[in-house]
């Protein structure tokens, strides 16, 4: 029974963390403010790599994998902190939002 609750909590945390947008902080691309006003698809973020690397699909997979790893790591950390009652569920999700979205927006003066 405890294991089912743990699995449910992990799935809920991951669902929330994976729904948080990530701010692109590739400083060699156009500014985030400019980028957000354009109608671009996800591959625009990889344009730097595609023009400099012969096998850009490997790099796209690498970048996608990295953001997924970051989200999994944050989810795992939050699970431990929520389970130990260091954070409530809501506090933990707010913390993740700050790491992935709110802090980069503030740091790059995008809000």
Segments forming the whole domain that contains residue 87: 2-107
Cα(79)–Cα(92) distance, rounded to whole angstroms?
8
Residue 83's closest CA among 1, 2, 6?
6
* Contacts with 82 (C-beta within 8 Å, 6 or more apart), sequence order: 9, 13, 88, 89, 92
- Number of structural domains (the chain) is 1
Give the C-alpha distances (Å, rounded to integers) separating 62 from 45, 47, 71. Answer: 13, 14, 14
The first and second tokens of residue 35, run together, are 């980028």
Label residue 64 by pLDDT band (50, 70, 90): confident
Residue range 7-52, pLDDT digits in tens: 999 999 999 999 998 876 665 556 667 767 777 666 666 665 555 5
């Amino acid at each position: 029974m405890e294991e089912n609750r743990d699995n449910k909590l992990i799935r809920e945390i991951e669902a929330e963390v994976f729904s948080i947008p990530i701010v692109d902080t590739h400083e060699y691309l156009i500014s985030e403010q400019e980028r957000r006003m354009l109608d671009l698809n996800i591959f625009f973020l990889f344009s730097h790599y595609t023009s400099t690397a012969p096998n850009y699909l490997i790099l796209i997979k690498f970048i996608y994998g990295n953001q997924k790893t970051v989200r999994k790591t944050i989810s795992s950390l939050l699970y431990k902190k929520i389970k130990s009652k260091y954070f409530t569920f809501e506090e933990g999700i707010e913390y993740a939002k700050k790491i992935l979205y709110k802090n980069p927006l503030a740091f790059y003066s995008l809000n």
